Every structure is written in structure tokens, then in C-alpha cells.
């Protein structure tokens, strides 16, 4: 019997990423940065990973993902004010609300692909953003939803207070570890492989018996759920929710993070991208207010010369070294 | 009763009639051919039979049941698989995964989001056996897009076989192949013959005449002749349609 073709449940890359993040609070202030930056990076890394499920893994260009992130943020706040001031209830509300929003959008766009998919996601993103701005009674309009509390995490008898940035950082890290592990499983599950097949060839997938529409809808809903979770954490981190995270340019940021990091070729690419994005914002931003110009230019250069992003550069360097050292290893399509 | 039957199919694209009262019947276990010049409507006919287009009139019957107008995925799940004239592979997947994703076992587990896709050794065996049948066992770990043309043709058939079809439609399997590749493909199809009902579209007459039990000739969207290869050789219509030049 041929051996099973399995992928490791825990990879070295996974452990390295988790450990690096776990050590961040120990040195981040010593290098002149601050704890809250770490929280932001982790939340957006999670968001970008969730987003990449749609862009990199399913090949569906969504440019309105901010809607799901924002819906999660508002739902977290509204649940806190109106349902129960309990962390788990609020996070569940964020995930649930984003799932509903994702399902609603999926209903209208899952028969599309390519540019039409992109345009419709932009349109839906704008609709959600517009509602957030105009529904004053619900969202506080442009003033935002203020006074969202960092609720304590209750676990049976123990309670963790998350008021400090370091405590919140470790809480977000636990969620990040869970989400990245879950995504790793999804990507290598039968469901995930079918989605990847659909990305490459919708027609063929249909003719081997897959209902393409359902898979495209499902992957969007999953991605929306996890984006909403990240959004909920974000509103907790900044103690408020604003419509700007739902705007087109914020939706563009997550696309940039994913592409710059190399989400198209690597599972961890979006994480690299989120780190690069925030470091650029703070480090270039300390020198010039026009940091977005420089980040945008480097994005253009990267897309022109190395569309596979930072992870792609690393992979080709590693390949070149391997080629020099040993005979060529057959490439395979598993996410690494 | 024939395994698969098409009755009086009509299809128009705008004001152009593409299929006009096409009736075909494929018997279980046989290898049937559909022959005709370029633009005769052969591939369109396949597209109607496998659910890509809905006919404007007529019926498609599978084991006596009316399946007209069902979606491609619904028809595929009945056990009707097809290959494509212009190749349709999962290019970024390995050769192995192209087969594995099409296996009914994978399809049955497609809702599973946490288990690993190919952890079952029986599934891997199955995929390897199909690769061996189409002569690609050695290349299981190569990326599909890295294969040479002839091997891609074989994989195209392999993906269709992985669906465990009762009926296999092959759309111009020899397209673009040299005489070597053609001979190898004829071998492969001969080996499959008998274990699965096969329908082949082809305009290479020699290739089809050497393999098929019965052949339908389509021209201008109509079936102009039907019969065994021997009977068709003698048919004046076939000759008149500029197809009958056999050396």
C-alpha cells in the first residue's frame, strides 16, 4: 500500500512564528517601539490570514473585506452595550454578525469571478461603509462607537484582566494561534483542496462533480467570520469602533499586506505583510508623514518585479541555494 | 434500453442552428465514436450531453431517466465523466492531486474542513492505480503544468477516469498529438475498452475506425450516418461529406 500523503499538523514555520510573537513584549520597548503596536500587528496579521483564504487560496479578489472587519468591530461594541458585557458573548457576536454579512454578500457574488467579483465586493464594501456612516443611532456615524471596554477574559474560576496592553497582547496571541492553526487545517482539508482546485479551474471542478457556487460562498463566509473576529478584537484594543476601517482604502491595506508579504505563494505571507506594513508606518512615518507614498511605491515595485512578495523572494533565494547544493527537488503545490 | 440516449436534440446560438434533431444512443460496454469535420457540432453536442448547455428541444436519457438540463456537477455525480479538447487540468496541483481531487472518496468528504485531504492510504493507492493505468505513475509528484503535452493528454483522461465513470466522454483525445502519441493513446483506450462505456469525438478517421464498435457521423449539426466502421466505409454520404478518404 502506498503511504498516506499527509502534511504535518504542526510545522516548524508555525512554531517559529508563534514563538517570535510570544517574545515580542519582552523586547519591543527596548527597540524603541511600544506594546500597542504589537497588538495592532497581531490583529491585522490575523485579519490578513483570514483575508488570504479568499484572495490567495480561493483566488477570489475581494476588495471590500473591510466591511466584515468593521461589522465585527461594531458588533463587539453593540453586544457589549445591549446584550451582555461578557468577552465571549461579544466575540461571538462579532463572529456571528460578520458571518451574516458574509453570507449576504456571498449570496450575490458567488457566481462571479475575476474582475466582476472584485467590482461587486467593492460595491458591497461601500454599502456597508455608507451604512456605518449614516446609521447614526446604531453606529454613532462618523463619531464612531466610543467607550467600548476591554472586558476581562473569564475562564471558569480564573479571570484575566486585559486592561493592560501586554495582557491584551497575550490574549490576542492565543486567538491568533488558534486561528492560524484552524486556517492551516482548513487549507489542507478536503474542503480546502476543492476550493484550491476551483481557483485553478472552475469548469473542470464542475465537471468532476463539485458545486462550485457553494464552495465559493462557504469560503467567503469563513473568511468573513475570522475577519469579524479580528475586527472585534480591534474595537476592544482601541476601545472604540470607527467607520474608517470599512472604507475602501482600509480594505486596500489588507490587500497590500497580503500581497507584499506573499500570500499568493505562502501560508505565512500575510503575517509577514502585516508586520512589514506596520513597521513601515511607524518607522518611515517617524521620518515623514508621507510614509504611504514610500510604502505604496515599494508595493508597486514589488508587484512589478516580484508579485510573489517577500515570501516569494525568500523562496526563490532558498531554491537557488538548494539548486547549488543538491539536485532539483520536485515542487509541490502544498502551502508552506 | 441504451445506457445513454439523446433524442431529437435541437440547439440554436442566436439565429444559428447548431444542432438539428440529433439522436444518439450509446450501449453499455461499447466504444462509440462521433465523427465529423471541424465546426460540425461535435463538441457542442458533447456540451449538451454533459450539461454545459441546455438544449432548446429534445431529451437526454441516462439509464432511461430524463436528465435534460441538469447541471454539469449533477451529471458528473451520476457517473458520467468527460475530458476536454482544450486541456482543463488543475495546473498548480501535482499530477497526484489532479487525480485525487476527482475521486468520489474526496467528493464524499468535501465538506470536511479539519481532517487532512489525502491521509487515507486507500485513497492514495486508488489514485496511484489510476496514474498507472494512464502511464503516469512515475510522475505523481510533478506539477501538472510541468508535464509534456502527451502526458497532459493522458492526465486529462486520468482525471475523467478518477471520477469512476460508468460512461466516459473523450473530446478529441488525440488533438495535437504526433503519430507516436496517437499510438500510445490508442493503446490506452483499447485497455479501457470493455471496463467502461466510452464515447469518443474524433476527426482522425483511422484512429476511430480502428477502435470503435459503432460510429455516428455529424455534419452541419445533423447525424448524417450511423453504423459500424465497416458499414460506414461503404456509405456514399460519408464519402460525400469529404470524410471518407481512408487510405
CA torsion sign for A190, A196, A199, A205 is negative
With CA atoms as reference, the chain A residue closest to B108 would be: A190
Q: What is the pLDDT of residue B246?
A: 45
- Residue of B64, B24, B23, B70 whose CA lies nearest to B51: B70
Q: Which three cell numbers stand for residue A250?
A: 482600509
Domain spans in chain A, listed from the N-terminal domain onward? 32-248
Interface mutation vs chain A, best among B76, B110, B142, B147, most A CBs within 10 Å? B110
Predicted TM-score (pTM) of this structure = 0.91
CA-based nearest residue to B141, from B94, B210, B87, B84: B94
CB contact under 8 A, A3 and B124: yes
Mean pLDDT computed over A102-116: 94
Q: What is the pLDDT of residue A186?
A: 96
CB-CB: which of B73, B121, B125 is closest to A209?
B73
Q: Which of A177-186, A323-332, B34-43, B101-110 has the lowest mean pLDDT?
A: A323-332
Query: Among the listed ranges A38-47, A167-176, B204-213, which one has the minimum average pLDDT value?
Result: B204-213
Average pLDDT over residues A311-336: 72
Contact A209 B96 (CB under 8 A): no
pLDDT at residue A240, rounded to an integer: 95
Find out whether A323 and A305 touch, Cβ atoms under 8 Å. no
Q: What is the ipTM of this complex?
A: 0.89
Torsion angle in degrees (nearest 10) through CA of B228, B234, B240, B241: 20
Contacts of B132 in chain A (CB under 8 A): none
Q: What is the pLDDT of residue B243?
A: 57
Q: Distances from the Cα of B204 to the Cαs of B19, B85, B177, B201, B211, in angstroms?
A: 22, 13, 11, 9, 11
What is the block-wise mean pLDDT of chain B (247 residues), using blocks of 10 residues?
90 89 91 86 89 92 92 93 89 95 94 91 94 92 93 93 93 87 89 90 84 89 87 75 51
Q: Which of A188, A196, A207 sits opposite B82 (nearest CB)?
A: A207
| Whole-number pLDDT of residue B39 | 79
pLDDT at position B241, please? 64
Please report residues of B whose CB lies closer than 8 A to that of A189.
Answer: 112-117
Query: Distances from the Cα of A39 to the Cαs of A123, A165, A276, B184, in angstroms?
Result: 30, 7, 14, 61
When comparing pLDDT for A205 and A326, which is higher? A205
Note whether A313 and A269 are within 8 A (CB).
no
Walk me through the domains of chain B, giving residue ranges and CATH numbers.
Answer: 1-79+165-247 (3.40.50.300), 92-161 (no CATH)
Give me the pLDDT at residue A241, please. Answer: 95
Amino acid at each position: 500500500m502506498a503511504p498516506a500523503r499527509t502534511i504535518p499538523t504542526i510545522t516548524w514555520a508555525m512554531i517559529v512564528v508563534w514563538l517570535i510573537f510570544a517574545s515580542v513584549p519582552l523586547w519591543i520597548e527596548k527597540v524603541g517601539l511600544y506594546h500597542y503596536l504589537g497588538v495592532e500587528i497581531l490583529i491585522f496579521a490575523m485579519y490578513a490570514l483570514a483575508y488570504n483564504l479568499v484572495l490567495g487560496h480561493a483566488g477570489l479578489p475581494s476588495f471590500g473585506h473591510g466591511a466584515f472587519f468593521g461589522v465585527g468591530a461594531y458588533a463587539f461594541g453593540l453586544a457589549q452595550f445591549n446584550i451582555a458585557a461578557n468577552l465571549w458573548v461579544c466575540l461571538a457576536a462579532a463572529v456571528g454578525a460578520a458571518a451574516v454579512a458574509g453570507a449576504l454578500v456571498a449570496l450575490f457574488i458567488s457566481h462571479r469571478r475575476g474582475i466582476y467579483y472584485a467590482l461587486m465586493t467593492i460595491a458591497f464594501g461601500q454599502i456597508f461603509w455608507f451604512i456605518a456612516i449614516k446609521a447614526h443611532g446604531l453606529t454613532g456615524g462618523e463619531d464612531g462607537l466610543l467607550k467600548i471596554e476591554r472586558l476581562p477574559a473569564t475562564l471558569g474560576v480564573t479571570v484575566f484582566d486585559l486592561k493592560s496592553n501586554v495582557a491584551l497582547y497575550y490574549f490576542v496571541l492565543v486567538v491568533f494561534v488558534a486561528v492560524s492553526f484552524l486556517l492551516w487545517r482548513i487549507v489542507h482539508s478536503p474542503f480546502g483542496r476543492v476550493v484550491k482546485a476551483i481557483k485553478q479551474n472552475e469548469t473542470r471542478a464542475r465537471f468532476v462533480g463539485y458545486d462550485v457556487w457553494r464552495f465559493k460562498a462557504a469560503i467567503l463566509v469563513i473568511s468573513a467570520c475570522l475577519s469579524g473576529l479580528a475586527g472585534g478584537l480591534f474595537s476592544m484594543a482601541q476601545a472604540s469602533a470607527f467607520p474608517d476601517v470599512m472604507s475602501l482604502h482600509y480594505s486596500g491595506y489588507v490587500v497590500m499586506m497580503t500581497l507584499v508579504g506573499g500570500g499568493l505563494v505562502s501560508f505565512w505571507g500575510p503575517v509577514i505583510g502585516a508586520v512589514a506594513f506596520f513597521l513601515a508606518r511607524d518607522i518611515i512615518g517617524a521620518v515623514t508623514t508621507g510614509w504611504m507614498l514610500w510604502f505604496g511605491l515599494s508595493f508597486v515595485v514589488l508587484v512589478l518585479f516580484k508579485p510573489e512578495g517577500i515570501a516569494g523572494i525568500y523562496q526563490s533565494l532558498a531554491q537557488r541555494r538548494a539548486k547549488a547544493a543538491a539536485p532539483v527537488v520536485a515542487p509541490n503545490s502544498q502551502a508552506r | 434500453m441504451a445506457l445513454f440516449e439523446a433524442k431529437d436534440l435541437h440547439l440554436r446560438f442566436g439565429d444559428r442552428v447548431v444542432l438539428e434533431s440529433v439522436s444518439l444512443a450509446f450501449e453499455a460496454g461499447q466504444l462509440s465514436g462521433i465523427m465529423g469535420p471541424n465546426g460540425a457540432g461535435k463538441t457542442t453536442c458533447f456540451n449538451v450531453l454533459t450539461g454545459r448547455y441546455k438544449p432548446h428541444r429534445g431529451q437526454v436519457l441516462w439509464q432511461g431517466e430524463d436528465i435534460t438540463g441538469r447541471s454539469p456537477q449533477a451529471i458528473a455525480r451520476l457517473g458520467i465523466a468527460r475530458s476536454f479538447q482544450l486541456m482543463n487540468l488543475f495546473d498548480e496541483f501535482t499530477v497526484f492531486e489532479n487525480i485525487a481531487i476527482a475521486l468520489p472518496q474526496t467528493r464524499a468528504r468535501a465538506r470536511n474542513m479539519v481532517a487532512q485531504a489525502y491521509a487515507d492510504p486507500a485513497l492514495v493507492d486508488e489514485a496511484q492505480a489510476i496514474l498507472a493505468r494512464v502511464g503516469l505513475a512515475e510522475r505523481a509528484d510533478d506539477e501538472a503544468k510541468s508535464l509534456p503535452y502527451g502526458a497532459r493528454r493522458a492526465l486529462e483522461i486520468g482525471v475523467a477516469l478518477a471520477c469512476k465513470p460508468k460512461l466516459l466522454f473523450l473530446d478529441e483525445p488525440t488533438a495535437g498529438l504526433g503519430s507516436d502519441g496517437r499510438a500510445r493513446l490508442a493503446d490506452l483506450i483499447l485497455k479501457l475498452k470493455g471496463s467502461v462505456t466510452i464515447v469518443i469525438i474524433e476527426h482522425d478517421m483511422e484512429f476511430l475506425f480502428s477502435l470503435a464498435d459503432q460510429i455516428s457521423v455529424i455534419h452541419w449539426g445533423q447525424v448524417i450516418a450511423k453504423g459500424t466502421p465497416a458499414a460506414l466505409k461503404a456509405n456514399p454520404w460519408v464519402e460525400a461529406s469529404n470524410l471518407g478518404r481512408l487510405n
